[in-house]
Structure 1
Amino acid sequence: MRDILTREDLHLLMSEFYLKLLADSKISYIFIKVAKIDLASHLLELVDFWEQILFDRGSFRKNVLQIHTDLNQQSKLSDEHFAIWLNYFNTTIDENFAGQTAENMKTRALSIATVMKIKM
């Protein structure tokens, strides 16, 4: 397996990841019924976010913590939700990629999730 290198890699990863999330009723309702995401747009925003985080390129400037804080006010994001999210995230990376960027992405996701849980 190769490492995450391109925007296309990130899109593949986010697409595979969301297939898992949206198939799990313990968490899918947050995306479908609460946030009411448009999947195609949401995937592009996620790719923009991770491209900025991992490769320091792009122009993603949204306040991710505020977005999730607002979501948490609509429907409580529990420790179980974060655990499910991280499990699918890490599994999807491991199924598709291996390398320094892939490991960095998992570390950054854990860090972001931890900060969100503390701040909410």
Structure 2
Amino acid sequence: MTQLADIKNLDDIKLLVDTFYTKVREDELIGPVFNEKIGNQWPSHLERMYRFWQTILLEEHTYSGSPFPPHKHLPVAKEHFNRWMEIFTETINNLFKGALAEEAKLRAQNMAEMFFYKIEYFRNGGRNFFES
């Protein structure tokens, strides 16, 4: 049995992103949403995700932009975010172990929650669910 190591470099980020999105693309629940939105732009999406996670986890500032706007009008609900998180966590746990691996899961969870609430906010005409 191979001992898992932590995320250390861009090659590890690429392994994480490629493995994760291979699973996402094939998933019955979230695959259709991603495949419809991204279409034939997967190579550029993956490159953007490499830079995003490289910036977040390795503090090598290669990503610029705002990650939320492309997600604003996606036809997703809480179960889509839950499934995204399940796949992400499973991918990390199968590939890595260590402080940055744990940081990746925490950052992903925070992002999933924030995106869900922001999408709901826009769907409700600028009102959150706590308002009557």
| Higher helix residue share | 1
TM exceeding 0.5 = yes
Aligned to 1:100: 99
* Structure 2 unaligned regions, length at least 5: 120-132
Residue aligned with 2:8, SS = coil
Note the C-alpha offset of 1:50.
0.5
Greater Rg by CA: 2
Note the C-alpha offset of 1:51.
0.7
Q: What TM-score results when the alignment is normalised by the length of structure 1?
A: 0.90
The CA RMSD over aligned residues, in Å, is 1.2
* Structure 1 unaligned regions, length at least 5: none
Distance of 1:36 and 1:78 partners within structure 2: 21
Instruction: Name segments (4+ residues, structure 1) moved above 3 Å.
Output: none
Q: What TM-score results when the alignment is normalised by the length of structure 2?
A: 0.82
Residue aligned with 2:17, SS = helix
Residues paired across the two proteins, number:
116
Note the C-alpha offset of 1:59.
2.7
1:11 aligns with 2:10: no
Distance of 1:9 and 1:38 partners within structure 2: 22
Q: 1:101 to 1:37 in 2, by over 3 A?
A: farther
Q: 1:114 to 1:5 in 2, by over 3 A?
A: same
Deviation track 1:45-104 (CA, whole Å, cap 9, x = no partner) reads 1010011111221331121111211xxx2x421111101100000000000000000000
Q: Is the 8 A contact 1:31 1:37 kept in 2?
A: no
Residue aligned with 1:2, SS = coil
State percent identity of aligned pairs: 30
